[in-house]
């Protein structure tokens, strides 16, 4: 009897250890390229490959720096440059257009070691908005700068400035024209005076495509960053969650780094990124459960989107309540995982 | 022996009950008019009376609405109008000047019943920025609007629009001239190239004077709002914590409403208002301890300021780590408490 029981116990211990070691794969970077109605039936193999390839390229750009002993801030910035430069994503080159036909960019970054943070919003000439955010963090005493003032600052500290036409891409411009057309149809159909001032969302996915990244460097410091072109056809100087520290981005070495994507208004109201950290710090939850709870809360309020999170121990979470989210992660051994659909 | 012991026990119970009932005075509103180096020796009796009178007037404006059964949102808006209209405070009329000689105003508001929120930043023509924030919350699908877009929206929904010269006050303009002069002296003295891009704070108190309020209505719903003119001599489109949901303002009926004032950058990095709520919700702390811990955290990071908080049970906290904070509260019975110094 006893040896059999012992064998069973040993088997349980062995299997538990196996599953723990599987869980405890140590990641050093995680990123997203936006969440939304991303369905396999609407995707061509070429397009899928383009997204997958871009995410891998971004991960490897950051991973290389981490392996060289560079900081997580450097890794986040390098990874986001790759996504900003790629017109597939709604950030920098490839950003969506505002109602007035402009590309207004938002970004934020935070460093878990010092709790320093930086953000820019509504900028139209900074080639890499994530670097604008980093410059605000490192070269000013401020955390957030908006509009022309932020652009002036970026120029003064030597960041690459481009003509606003740099951000133009035909598909995004066409999307604006469709949105404006739908908007005018909606305005004609809208007989409810009380509602007529409500800014409508023409297309639920017009607000998606933000990019973001979290990295953990060899010294154990976390950094998180987010960059976006905002929402197609946006009006009235609308700002979403991406440049808001606590909402779209948060990072603390004692807990976790988080970058969000989705319907920004809901992420601001729930202060999602900081809440993930607080659920871990104050309630003792793991990164997986804390992240899942916050995406559930967004859903309960009527919003959608997702987030990527990387904790101090190299554990990740990538929950979302949309059909898909472009997402990828890399372990400390260089193993890459990429996914798009549910 | 026994009767004596019994008497002693009864006395303890009686005293405990007394102290509990003192603690459990139920407040319906709390407000602040900014924190900073406010020292009694620098204050005239007239000036002290002016501040005290303004805070009482603001409290009573909101209290009247609550007694009539109006919502906490109405009460917060009414109280903040009084402070915005009064040039003593750094909000609307009496706002400080940016480096370019403009008055750029920020405000936010949040409703604990629905977790809806609204904010405006960098606006120069909306007479009552707190109402701009409320309009964003109630009449748009957005949470945050900035600059000219926010002004256009406010005009379209019928808010009172004024010429930017409305916000001009001579003392604030003189303060800008002093700050610019100190700035140029500092620039000459500053030989540290690495630091020369850092935007200096000329005067630690140039950033203070924000106003804010939290109210609890008869239906048990909380609302919180904050309004500010920002920082004297601010450059580069700097935005502080006041219009940032989670940082300067947060409100949830399940926990607490919070409005912050002080060195905004530190309040953004620590996401102070939401953290007070999270310490209560996730860690089970009371409003007093949660609020105190967050102001201590701000101090540890090197920042200063204060906050007012009113929880779902009518309990308040008004911690600050500056020399003083203009603050006031009113109980459900109409008892007013006003304080300025430590």
Lowest model confidence (mean pLDDT) among A117-126, A162-171, A263-272, B14-23 = B14-23
d(CA A34, CA B75): 40
pLDDT of res. A206: 54
Closest in A121, A236, A246 to B271, CB measured: A246
What is the CB neighbour count within 10 angstroms for residue B57? 14
d(CA A188, CA A172): 25
Closest in A238, A270, A301 to B145, CB measured: A238
d(CA B88, CA B264): 20
Residue A184 near residue A202 (C-beta atoms within 8 A): no
Residue A11 has pLDDT above 90, yes or no: no
pLDDT tens-digit profile of B25-71? 999 999 999 998 888 888 899 999 999 999 999 999 999 999 999 99
Could you confirm whether domain A37-341 is CATH 3.60.20.30?
yes
Give the pLDDT band (50/70/90) at residue A208. Answer: confident
The highest-confidence range among A13-17, A60-64, B9-13, B202-206, by mean pLDDT, is A60-64
* Residues 6 or more apart whose Cβ sits within 8 Å of residue B284: none
d(CA B280, CA A180): 45
pLDDT of res. A121: 97
Are B142 and A199 inside 8 Å of each other by CB? Answer: yes
Residue B135 main-chain phi, psi, to 5 deg: -65, -40
Burial class of B331 by CB neighbour count within 10 A (0 to 12, 13 to 18, 19+): middle
Give the pLDDT band (50/70/90) at residue A38. Answer: confident
- Packing angle of the helix pair A272-283, B272-283 (nearest 10 deg): 40
Mutation test of the interface with chain B: which of A133, A224, A244, choosing the one with the most B Cβ atoms within 10 A?
A: A244
H helices then E strands: how many in chain A? 9, 13
CA atoms within 13 A on the CB side of B233: 19
pLDDT of res. A24: 76
Residue B270, chain A, CB below 8 Å: the answer is yes
d(CA B202, CA B96): 14
d(CA B278, CA B265): 20
**In the numeric block, which tokens belong to residue B57?**
């007037």
Residue B329, chain A, CB below 8 Å: the answer is no
> What residues of chain B lie within 8 A of the CB of A142, using their CB?
199, 236, 238, 265
Residue B148, chain A, CB below 8 Å: the answer is yes
> What residues of chain A lie within 8 A of the CB of B142, using their CB?
199, 236, 238, 265
* Residues 6 or more apart whose Cβ sits within 8 Å of residue A194: none
Give the pLDDT band (50/70/90) at residue A200. Answer: very low
Give the pLDDT band (50/70/90) at residue B188. Answer: very low
Residue A26 has pLDDT above 90, yes or no: yes
Residue A318 has pLDDT above 80, yes or no: yes
Residue B10 has pLDDT above 70, yes or no: no
Residue B109 near residue B130 (C-beta atoms within 8 A): yes
Q: What is the ipTM of this complex?
A: 0.90
H-only helix segments in chain A: 2-23, 45-67, 72-85, 129-139, 147-156, 170-189, 264-269, 272-283, 287-301
Cα B304–B93–B152 angle (5° rounding)? 100
Closest in B116, B145, B279 to A269, CB measured: B116
**In the numeric block, which tokens belong to residue B32?**
């602040």
Residue B203 has pLDDT above 70, yes or no: no
Average pLDDT over chain A reads 90
pLDDT of res. B284: 98
CA quadruple A148, A154, A160, A166: dihedral, nearest 10: -20
pLDDT of res. B5: 63
pTM, full prediction: 0.90
C-alpha A219 chain-centroid distance: 23
Distance (Å) from the C-alpha of residue A142 to the closest C-alpha of chain B? Answer: 6
Average pLDDT over chain B reads 90
> What is the mean pLDDT of the segment spanning A151-170?
97
Residue B14 main-chain phi, psi, to 5 deg: -65, -45
> What residues of chain B lie within 8 A of the CB of A152, using their CB?
236
pLDDT tens-digit profile of A77-108? 999 999 999 999 999 999 999 999 999 999 99
Distance (Å) from the C-alpha of residue B52 to the closest C-alpha of chain A? Answer: 32
Are A247 and B250 inside 8 Å of each other by CB? Answer: no
d(CA A180, CA A174): 10
Residue A231, chain B, CB below 8 Å: the answer is no
Query: In 3-state terms, what secondary structure has residue B56?
Result: helix
pLDDT of res. B208: 74
Distance (Å) from the C-alpha of residue A160 to the closest C-alpha of chain B? Answer: 17
pLDDT of res. A9: 59
* Cα dihedral A310, A312, A315, A320 sign: negative
Residue A274 has pLDDT above 80, yes or no: yes
């Amino acid at each position: 009897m006893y040896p059999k029981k012992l064998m069973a116990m040993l088997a349980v211990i062995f299997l538990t250890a196996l599953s723990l070691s599987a869980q405890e794969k140590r990641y050093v970077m995680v990123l997203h390229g936006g969440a939304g109605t991303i369905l396999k039936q609407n995707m061509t193999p070429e397009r899928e490959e383009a997204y997958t390839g871009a995410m891998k390229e971004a991960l490897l750009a950051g991973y290389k720096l981490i392996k060289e002993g560079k900081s997580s801030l450097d890794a986040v910035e390098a990874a986001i440059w790759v996504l900003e430069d790629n017109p597939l994503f709604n950030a920098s080159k490839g950003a969506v257009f505002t109602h007035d036909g402009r590309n207004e960019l938002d970004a934020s970054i935070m460093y878990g070691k010092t709790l320093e943070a930086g953000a820019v919003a509504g900028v139209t000439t900074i080639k890499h908005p994530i670097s604008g955010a980093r410059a605000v963090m490192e070269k000013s005493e401020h955390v957030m700068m908006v509009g022309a003032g932020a652009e002036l600052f970026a120029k003064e500290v030597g960041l690459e400035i481009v003509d606003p036409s740099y951000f133009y891409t035909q598909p995004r411009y066409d999307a604006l024209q469709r949105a404006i057309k739908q908007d005018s149809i909606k305005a004609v159909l809208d007989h409810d005076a009380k509602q007529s001032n409500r800014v409508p969302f023409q297309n639920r996915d017009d607000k998606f495509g933000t990019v973001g990244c979290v990295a953990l460097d060899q010294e154990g410091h976390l950094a998180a960053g987010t960059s976006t072109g905002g929402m197609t056809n946006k009006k009235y100087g609308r700002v979403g969650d991406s440049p808001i520290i606590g909402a779209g981005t948060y990072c603390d070495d004692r807990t976790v780094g988080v970058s969000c994507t989705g319907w920004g208004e809901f992420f601001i109201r729930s202060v999602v990124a900081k809440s993930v950290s607080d659920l871990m710090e104050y309630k003792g939850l793991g990164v997986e459960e804390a992240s899942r709870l916050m995406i559930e809360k967004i859903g309960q309020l009527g919003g959608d989107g997702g987030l990527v999170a990387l904790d101090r121990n190299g554990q990740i979470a990538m929950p979302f309540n949309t059909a898909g989210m472009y997402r990828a992660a890399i372990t400390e051994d260089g193993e890459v995982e990429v996914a798009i659909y549910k």
